[in-house]
Structure 1
Amino acid sequence: MSRKLTAEFIGTLWLVLGGCGSAVLAAAFPQVGIGLLGVSFAFGLTVLTMAYTIGHVSGCHLNPAVTLGLVAAGKFNASEAPGYIVAQVLGAIAAGAILFLIASGKPGFEIGGFASNGFGDLSPGKYGLMAAFLCEVVMTAFFLVVICGATSARAPAGFAPIAIGLCLTLIHLVSIPVTNTSVNPARSTGVAIFAGGDYIAQLWLFWVAPILGAVLGGVVHKVLEGDAALAPAPAE
């Protein structure tokens, strides 16, 4: 179990450092910034690379919502979920700390939103609470449907990381303007604790909505797959 938790810690650290790091350090860099498209691909690439690296160790959840969604889908043991979630959150916070130390090395550094998620005035597009909540629920639900389907025993072997990484990229392309894209409570927590203030006050939504969406996605997968959905994913 310790190997699995270590893998989840390292993998989630990489997810937040790569994804949020691209947003904080590279998205708006003068003349050569990677922009929304680049940040979207950065998040997808972190999952893709870690899925091939630690998928055979822990299943590469990197996300409390994914862990609970897989429990709902019958693909993960509920008794292991608390340890996974703690490891993921700690990995995200460690990544936030590393990113803060790097970013604060620039003269005149101001933390701002620090790639945090938000709604209302904290939403990149000023989307309200209900729009943000619905977006996070729906995007996370589809993320779980893709994860469960791509890792099914009946799916083509070896391609799951590609499908899952590209799905996360697509999710970011759609929802960055709405919430700055969470679909992952650990990712949201890891940077919000450094941004502080209202970002902490709104963090509840980025736990509740992704978990609700993930459980919904897991249930949908069970309906789609029938009895086959009860077979554990190969990466588990």
Structure 2
Amino acid sequence: MAENKEEDVKLGANKFRETQPLGTAAQTDKDYKEPPPAPLFEPGELSSWSFYRAGIAEFMATFLFLYITILTVMGVKRSDSLCHSVGIQGIAWAFGGMIFALVYCTAGISGGHINPAVTFGLFLARKLSLTRALFYIVMQCLGAICGAGVVKGYMQGPYQRLGGGANEVAHGYTKGDGLGAEIVGTFVLVYTVFSATDAKRNARDSHVPILAPLPIGFAVFLVHLATIPITGTGINPARSLGAAIIYNTDAAWDDHWIFWVGPFIGAALAAVYHQIIIRAIPFHKS
């Protein structure tokens, strides 16, 4: 029993190879090693503490993500002028900065997904099992709901009056515009995740240290700068769901499907592009 526990502590989230922590496992060796595809179902995960620990990490990370970012949005909307607040740039930095910090903190535990679209993309690329993917998505959504709920607890009146940080297609844009923005924005994010954590690239460019959370957080920041005026920027179904459930008005639900369909399509396109194009590049060690 003690032996099994020691093995679990030693291997952590890597006990099952499909987890692929972001920015850690891929960089331990300079030689390129292609990880085997994750099985569709891995019953052994359900009896491992590392599996549940990873789910708890995803819950806490998404909780903190919603808490900080929605509070930032509420602070901007409560101000008389954008000049008296952090403004749209500040909101973008809050989202990107929190992703950077939280991916850095949870990469070695759960892989640092913090987003059902990222989880879905990695699942399509056979980086994790269906069992783990579904568990992560459920925990991410629960964390997002709790994070938005705490913000509402701080400022219930202003929260409802100022939109609760819920994603909606802005006036002047069509639903097609919103869907397109979510597809492209999520593609940028998930493509960055694949590129920053690719074992082949990290081995080939081992002389250039890559801190995976940095480009991922920066991608989130840039996408928010571009698409906040269009949809408020979803690119994360858990983030959109948490805010919609706590805000809970018709306006929040009218366009809500966009913030699931768009990110999942964008993630799928990024996974296909990575598998067909990027993974086809021959490996030449420097």
Structure 1 spans left out of the alignment, 5+ residues: 230-236
**Once the 2 structures are TM-superposed, how far is the Cα of residue 58 of structure 1 from its aligned partner?**
0.3
Q: How far apart are the structure 2 equivalents of 1:170 and 1:43? A: 10
Q: Is the 8 A contact 2:175 2:255 kept in 1?
A: no
Of 93-102 and 17-26, more deviation after overlay is shown by 17-26
Match of 1:25 in 2: 75
Of 72-81 and 198-207, more deviation after overlay is shown by 72-81
Of 12-21 and 41-50, more deviation after overlay is shown by 12-21
Q: Map 1:16-95; keep pairs closer than 5 Å.
A: 16-26=66-76, 28-30=78-80, 32-95=84-147
Structure 2 spans left out of the alignment, 5+ residues: 1-50, 203-207
Q: Map 1:48-197; keep pairs closer than 5 Å.
A: 48-104=100-156, 110-119=160-169, 123=170, 125-153=171-199, 154-155=201-202, 156-196=208-248, 197=250
Q: How far apart are the structure 1 equivalents of 2:274 and 2:147? A: 31
From 263, 273, 278, give the equivalent of 1:220. 273
From 36, 50, 63, give the equivalent of 1:13. 63
Q: How far apart are the structure 2 equivalents of 1:118 and 1:175? A: 11
SS in 2 for 1:74: coil
Match of 1:232 in 2: none
**Once the 2 structures are TM-superposed, how far is the Cα of residue 193 of structure 1 from its aligned partner?**
1.3
Give the length in aligned residue pairs: 223
TM (norm. structure 1) is: 0.88
Q: Is the 8 A contact 1:28 1:35 kept in 2?
A: no
Percentage of pairs with the same residue: 32
Q: How far apart are the structure 2 equivalents of 1:101 and 1:228? A: 51
Match of 1:201 in 2: 254
TM (norm. structure 2) is: 0.73
Which structure is richer in relative contact order (CA contacts within 8 A, separation 6 or more)?
Answer: 1
Q: How far apart are the structure 1 equivalents of 2:63 and 2:114? A: 9
